[in-house]
């Protein structure tokens, strides 16, 4: 019983938290972190004056900020989780991030930043006018999330999927003088484009229902500025191509549904250790056999039937039955040994005929050995009196032993 309690305690301890959710359960979560735009950004940086496509103006300076905050929410379904490997499907919404740039218009129509190029007819004549250019990306995504357990409560995982991002591109002069009045001007185009999503991270189960994750995510070719401008302004008047990649690092927290109930389903039903049962039967040979004979009497059937019924009622899985035969000391020792063996075998064969497994029954004759009377009959005179005195020594013993399953 102590061993059983220890086993159950170990099972309970190891089931406290697993890195991946239990199979066939759902989870939701949120994340936040830092994102950065890459690929195609340098064509707008005035450090690269020798490039074919440049944002350098005859005068002025373009300041680009490619890093920003990113955040999102997600919901997932754990398809399976076994043998340390898992697979989930996730649907999410992300604010992927924002790229921004500031510059001053040094000379009319000299700006070669694409959005401004397409909107140059709206540019101000004020050479000191400050512009703010932004690219903002957000949208939904779907991914598969395979995972592998590194520790009982820590997983490494990867992500592969597709994101559908809306990309907003805008040029916003702070103010513009019109007829000696000041008003705000804002020009904007957008596009919606699918992009490949790749990711990797670690997930740690704080408790079965709550998990912390740290994740790197890569979004390929976010948006297409050229197509957005062409669609909005019916023009190809732009310089360079702009469809950046996005890299982000975030931390998130997820809540898993149904972990407690699932764990109860998966946890094996406690089973107690089998109980060892022993039962001994002793019969006088005078009840079962005639004196010096090995054939069962007719009335022996009733006694042995009752014994067999008791053995069956013990409910033992595979009972081992030992039948031992004994005689008294009257007669020759060798003859008594053979007689006791035949009597033990007769009882064993009867029990087999009643349904006991012959493989589990063993019959042994011990002859005059192990007398019960000891020396109490040494002073008895006369054969009949001695036979009566030694009656307890003439016996057959049946020993039954086996295991019985105890249900809790």
Residues forming a β-bridge with 192: 166
Task: Give per-residue pLDDT as tens, 260-319.
Answer: 654 455 556 666 777 888 899 998 888 888 888 889 888 888 999 999 999 999 888 888
Provide the pLDDT for residue 41.
Answer: 73
Q: Please check whether residue 363 is in contact with residue 341, taking contact to mean a CB–CB distance below 8 angstroms.
A: yes
State the chain's mean pLDDT as an integer: 81
| Res. 174 pLDDT band, cuts 50 70 90 | low
Provide the pLDDT for residue 104.
Answer: 63
Provide the pLDDT for residue 236.
Answer: 61
**Is residue 15 scored above 50 in pLDDT?**
no
Q: Please check whether residue 187 is in contact with residue 120, taking contact to mean a CB–CB distance below 8 angstroms.
A: no
Provide the pLDDT for residue 108.
Answer: 38
Residues forming a β-bridge with 200: 158, 216
**Is residue 212 scored above 50 in pLDDT?**
yes
**Is residue 103 scored above 80 in pLDDT?**
no
Over residues 326-336, the mean pLDDT reads 92
The CA distance from 186 to 173, in Å, is 7
Contacts of 56 (CB under 8 A, 6+ apart): 46, 49, 62, 112
| Res. 121 pLDDT band, cuts 50 70 90 | very low
Least confident of 73-77, 181-185, 191-195, 404-408: 181-185
Contacts of 119 (CB under 8 A, 6+ apart): 171, 187, 233
The CA distance from 86 to 256, in Å, is 15
Provide the pLDDT for residue 328.
Answer: 92
Provide the pLDDT for residue 11.
Answer: 42
Better-predicted residue by pLDDT, 290 or 60: 290
Provide the pLDDT for residue 269.
Answer: 64
Over residues 62-70, the mean pLDDT reads 85
Provide the pLDDT for residue 346.
Answer: 93
Task: Give per-residue pLDDT as tens, 377-386.
Answer: 988 888 889 9
Within a 13 Å sphere around the CA of 368, how many CA atoms are in the beta-carbon half? Answer: 11
pTM above 0.85, yes or no: no
Residues forming a β-bridge with 31: 72, 252
Over residues 117-129, the mean pLDDT reads 49
Q: Please check whether residue 277 is in contact with residue 403, taking contact to mean a CB–CB distance below 8 angstroms.
A: yes
Least confident of 11-20, 195-204, 241-250, 298-307: 11-20
Between β-strands 210-219 and 320-326, what pairing exists: parallel, antiparallel or unpaired? Answer: unpaired
Go through the domains of the chain in sequence order and give each one's CATH number.
17-266 (2.40.160.20), 275-404 (3.30.1330.60)
Provide the pLDDT for residue 220.
Answer: 94
Task: Give per-residue pLDDT as tens, 348-383.
Answer: 999 999 999 999 999 999 999 999 998 899 888 888
**Which H helix or E strand runs over 160?**
strand 154-173
């Amino acid at each position: 019983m102590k061993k059983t309690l220890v086993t159950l305690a170990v099972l309970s301890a190891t089931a406290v938290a697993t890195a991946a959710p239990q199979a066939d359960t759902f989870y939701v979560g949120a994340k936040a972190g830092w994102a950065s735009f890459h690929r195609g950004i340098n064509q707008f940086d005035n450090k690269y004056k020798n490039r074919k496509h440049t944002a350098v103006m005859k005068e002025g300076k373009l300041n680009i900020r490619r890093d920003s905050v990113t955040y999102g929410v997600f919901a997932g379904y754990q398809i399976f989780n076994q043998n340390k490997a898992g697979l989930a499907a996730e649907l999410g919404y992300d604010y992927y991030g924002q790229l921004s740039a500031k510059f001053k218009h040094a000379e009319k129509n000299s700006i070669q930043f694409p959005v401004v190029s397409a909107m140059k007819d709206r540019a101000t004549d004020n050479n000191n006018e400050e512009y703010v250019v932004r690219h903002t990306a957000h949208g939904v995504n779907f991914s598969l999330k395979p995972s592998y357990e590194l520790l009982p409560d820590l997983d490494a995982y990867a992500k592969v999927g597709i994101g559908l991002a809306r990309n907003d591109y805008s040029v916003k002069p702070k103010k513009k003088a019109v007829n000696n009045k000041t008003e705000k001007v804002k020009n904007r185009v957008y596009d919606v484009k699918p992009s490949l999503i790749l990711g990797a991270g670690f997930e740690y189960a704080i408790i079965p229902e709550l998990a912390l994750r740290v994740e790197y995510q890569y979004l390929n070719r976010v948006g297409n500025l050229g197509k957005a401008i062409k669609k909005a302004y019916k023009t190809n008047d732009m310089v360079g191509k702009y469809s950046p990649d996005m890299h982000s690092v975030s931390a998130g927290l997820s809540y898993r549904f149904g972990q407690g109930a699932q764990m109860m389903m998966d946890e094996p039903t406690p089973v107690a250790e089998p109980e060892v049962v022993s039962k001994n039967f002793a019969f006088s040979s005078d009840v079962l056999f005639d004196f010096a004979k090995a054939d069962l009497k007719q009335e022996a059937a009733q006694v042995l039937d009752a014994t067999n019924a008791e053995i069956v009622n013990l409910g033992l899985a595979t009972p081992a039955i030992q039948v031992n035969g004994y005689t008294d000391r009257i007669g020759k020792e060798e003859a008594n040994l053979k007689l006791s063996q035949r009597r033990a075998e007769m009882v064993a064969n009867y029990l087999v005929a009643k349904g006991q497994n012959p493989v589990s029954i063993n019959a042994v004759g011990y002859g005059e050995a192990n007398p019960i009377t000891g020396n109490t009959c040494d002073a008895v005179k006369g054969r009949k009196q001695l036979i009566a005195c030694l009656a307890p020594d003439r016996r057959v013993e049946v020993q039954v032993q086996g295991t019985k399953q105890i249900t809790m």
